[in-house]
Structure 1
Amino acid sequence: MASDLSDLLHPDLITVGVTASNKKMLFQQLGALAAQTLGLAGGAVSTALTEREKLGSTGFGGGVALPHARIQGLPRIVVMIARLAQPVEFQAVDDMPVDLIVAILSPPDAGADHLKALARVSNRLRDRAFVAKLRGAGSRDAIYALLTSDEPGTTRDAA
């Protein structure tokens, strides 16, 4: 399975240094980013992420969360990345606070494609060395380069 996520990403959906004191504030900021970049209703995105989180924490472990929701009016599956300035409590499986959020937004009818996107992203996030590189990336462009490379943990080289 290719680990390149370029079909799900847009550089403007990656943000670093996000300041949020809790999940609600984080989801509001992700909603605002989706509104600005994708033309969606920010409140609807925030509400959808919050409602999904009520079903059970999407805290993945290792300081990473993978919130996801289905959004009316979204033409395709997209991934949003937020690296927090300070970790927030997320009720993660390992009880660690979260500082790296990889949110997946899907159209309501995405079905199996939504699950495939979740699997692809979670496979990348299982690699602790790769997650460390995401945390160490200095900019959204660097994060984008990491996530759009074919090999986990590497960027594309001009050979």
Structure 2
Amino acid sequence: MTALFTLLPEAVRTAKVDSKSAVLEQVTLNFASAYHLDADTVRTRLHEREALGSTGFGRGVAIPHARIADLTRPVAVFLRLDTPVAFEAADDMPVDLVFGLLSPEAAGVAHLHALAAISRLMRDDRMHEALSQAPSDEALYSLISNVIDRDAA
């Protein structure tokens, strides 16, 4: 079995932002640079999805996601924020862990499976704590990729 989404090391980073819009912009820029995607398209699709309702998951986590053309499989980015920001989350808690997901336009079930996998990962208390305490971007990537690889095996 293969992983439900691709996460590249350069798509994982710590960010200093001060608002929900700045979070979405950083997610957009990470997708654009890591996966060579058009930033305007990514930005538009993420904002369209966010307009339907906040992707603030709760427990300090947001999972902004969208579907875009020209992708062959789901791709992800991860941000750990230096300071939590308001994100209109379901529990009204500010967000400091952000897992972005983009899927191909026609990836109905694959998109939902990838979202479910991210949701399970972010609900795990030990993983949540480890991500919050990781000393570097490399450590963040290692934590996430180990789980992705384990779950795909």
TM-score (norm 1): 0.85
CA-based RMSD of the aligned residues comes to 2.1
Preserved CA contact (<8 Å) 2:80 2:132: yes
The reply to whether residue 15 of structure 1 matches residue 13 of structure 2 is yes
The reply to whether residue 88 of structure 1 matches residue 85 of structure 2 is yes
Against the structure 1 CA distance between its residues 121 and 140, is the aligned structure 2 distance closer, same or farther, given a 3 Å change threshold? same
The reply to whether residue 112 of structure 1 matches residue 125 of structure 2 is no
* Post-superposition offset of 1:149: 2.0
Question: Could you tell me how far apart the structure 2 residues matched to 1:61 and 1:148 are?
Answer: 22
Question: Which is richer in helix?
Answer: 2
Please list every run of 5 or more consecutive structure 1 residues that lacks an aligned counterpart in the other structure.
Answer: none
Preserved CA contact (<8 Å) 1:80 1:104: yes
Q: Which amino acid aligns with 2:50?
A: E
Preserved CA contact (<8 Å) 2:8 2:34: no
Q: Which moved more, 1:82-91 or 1:19-28?
A: 19-28
SS in 2 for 1:13: strand
Q: Which amino acid aligns with 1:132?
A: E
Q: List 4+ stretches of structure 1 deviating above 4 A.
A: 4-7
Q: Which amino acid aligns with 1:147?
A: I
Against the structure 1 CA distance between its residues 114 and 88, is the aligned structure 2 distance closer, same or farther, given a 3 Å change threshold? same
Question: Could you tell me how far apart the structure 2 residues matched to 1:127 and 1:65 are?
Answer: 14
Question: Could you tell me how far apart the structure 2 residues matched to 1:64 and 1:5 are?
Answer: 21
Against the structure 1 CA distance between its residues 6 and 52, is the aligned structure 2 distance closer, same or farther, given a 3 Å change threshold? closer
Please list every run of 5 or more consecutive structure 2 residues that lacks an aligned counterpart in the other structure.
Answer: none
* Post-superposition offset of 1:6: 8.1
Question: Could you tell me how far apart the structure 1 residues matched to 2:6 and 2:135 are?
Answer: 21
**Residue by residue, what CA displacement relative to the aligned partner does 1:16-36 show, whole Å, maximum 9, x if unpaired?**
1x1222122221122122221
Alignment of 1:21-100 (within 5 A): 21-100=18-97
Question: Could you tell me how far apart the structure 2 residues matched to 1:52 and 1:6 are?
Answer: 21
Against the structure 1 CA distance between its residues 137 and 36, is the aligned structure 2 distance closer, same or farther, given a 3 Å change threshold? same
Question: Which is richer in strand?
Answer: 2
SS in 2 for 1:148: helix
- Name 1:102's counterpart in structure 2: 99
**Residue by residue, what CA displacement relative to the aligned partner does 1:65-97 show, whole Å, maximum 9, x if unpaired?**
111101222221011101111111111111100
Preserved CA contact (<8 Å) 2:4 2:74: no
* Post-superposition offset of 1:5: 5.4
Alignment size in residue pairs:
149
TM-score (norm 2): 0.89
Question: Could you tell me how far apart the structure 1 residues matched to 2:4 and 2:66 are?
Answer: 19
